[in-house]
Amino acid sequence: MNVFNHKRKRPQIETYDIAGALLSFLDKMKPYRAEQQTVCDEKQFTLLLSGVFGLRKIPGISQAMGYEKLYLCWKDGGDVDALKKHCKKLYGADDWAGLEAFMERDYNTQNEYSQFRTFWKGHPCFDVNTLDARGKLLFEACKGFAEILAPIAGRKGFFAFDCTERLGVLRLAYAAGMINEQQFWDKALPLAAAASDRYDSWLEYAAGYLCGACYDMFRAQMAESQTVDKQEMKDYVEMNCRLMEQLLTHVELWGGHKWYKRPPKKLKLSPAEIRMVLTDYQGGDKVVCIASDRITVDGCPVGYLYREQPINEQAPDSGWRIFAGDESESYMADATNFDFYHLNTICNYDQTIIELLNAPYGTEYRRGLTGRWIEKER
């Protein structure tokens, strides 16, 4: 179903229909498109993705941060102390370690949405009965609310909300001097790459953001009082729709820029060079693995691999995670440096791993100095 063409009645305040309100707004936004749109580069696209943060008047920042460049308080007339106080009030932290911990804890709506999808499909990723009574109540309520938004969010989920909010916090951290420019881009560019791959337009991104924002509000209200204030939710939805409308309709904002699609990875081996070399594999249809670009793009041999129990037993995931072994901590933290592959494809890059692939879950191998595989003791 094309959710943007899905017609629903406009909401009534007495029985506020959040999904209906969002669909009505997204339908209204469909015709907006500038006649000429500017092509973004990767960094410009990243700043544009910070969305509402570029529009907001934030204490300690002398003007809206905008999207042309990174705002820096000491250079652009801001007040570092006022900005840190704002961060302390809003996020409970006025240093980078605290802000990073807040982001990891609170801006994880996509992870929760992915968990809910396993329940909707009938293959839950965990036993909800292991939660205590309060945890189970909150989980079931959030799962039910997310399901209302699922026809709009689809498989792409709430990632846009997490992405925008994290980018916004990163921009504030940079503006206050908590992180330097290189640290900002190291954290921000992987988020932008993931957004580029996941979505195809600003309208899709706006839909994901709105769904995630509504879910975040619902989750917070339920966690605090186990009830939902419908009027507060209605006001929050309308406020976010106004912000999205401003972004989508102004030519200097999203409305005047093409959605950025990053170039596809240039793999070392072409499809024509891949041969069937994986023989005697006993994993049946569990043939998917995750492998590092150090192997598939840079052409390095495999240096380290392990097999973990897949979260979804119905998926074709073999559980194998395959690396060159020299990936840095920052490289590992960037999900865009990895992709899903058929095991046979990775065996074409390094046939020495073929003999290892029938090992049970929990197995871990590292290549020794002589080139032989060494199994880690369990």
Pairing of the two strands 373-375 and 317-323: unpaired
In single-letter form, the type of residue at position 336 comes to T
Mean pLDDT value across residues 333-362: 93
pLDDT of residue 15: 63
Q: Residue 11 pLDDT > 60, yes or no?
A: no
pLDDT at residue 6 in the model: 38
Looking at residue 331, its pLDDT comes to 86
Length of the chain: 378
Instruction: Convert 169-200 to b/e letters by CB count within 10 Å (16 or more is b).
Output: bbbbbbbbebbeeeebbebbbbbbbbbbebbe
CB 45 within 8 A of CB 199: no
Binned at pLDDT 50, 70 and 90, residue 10 comes out as very low
pLDDT of residue 378: 66
Q: Is 158 within 8 Å of 215 (Cβ atoms)?
A: yes
Buried b (16+ CB within 10 A) or exposed e, 38-63: eebeeebbbbbbbbbbbbeebebbee
Domain boundaries, the chain: 3-256, 271-375
Among 11-20, 69-78, 93-102, the least confident range = 11-20
Residue with tokens 């998926």: 315
Q: What percent of the chain has pLDDT over 90?
A: 76
Per-residue confidence at 36, pLDDT binned at 50, 70, 90? confident
Burial of 369 (0-12, 13-18, 19+ CB in 10 A): exposed
Q: Tell me the pLDDT band of 4, cut-offs 50, 70 and 90.
A: very low
pLDDT of residue 329: 85
Q: Describe the crossing of helices 181-198 and 159-175 by its angle, rounded to 10 degrees.
A: 170
**Count of Cβ atoms closer than 10 Å to residue 22 Cβ:** 27
pLDDT tens digits for range 126-157: 899 999 999 999 999 999 999 999 999 998 99
Question: 278-308 pLDDT, tens per residue?
Answer: 988 999 999 999 999 999 999 999 999 999 9
Q: What is the pLDDT of residues 203-214, one digit of tens each?
A: 999 999 999 999
Provide the phi-psi class of 60: left if phi over 0, else alpha when psi is between -120 and 50, else beta.
left
Cα separation, 357 vs 347, in Å, equals: 10
Residues whose CB is less than 8 angstroms from the CB of residue 180 and which lie 6 or more positions away in sequence, other chains included: 174
pLDDT, tens only, 162-219? 999 999 999 999 999 999 999 999 899 999 999 999 999 999 999 999 999 999 999 9
Q: Which residues contact 80 (CB under 8 A, 6 or more apart)?
A: 60, 73, 74, 176, 177
Average pLDDT, the chain: 90
Tell whether the model's pLDDT for residue 13 goes beyond 70: no
- In the structure, what pLDDT confidence band is assigned to residue 35 with cuts at 50, 70 and 90? low
**For residue 3, what pLDDT is reported?**
35
C-alpha–C-alpha distance, residues 361 and 364, integer Å: 9
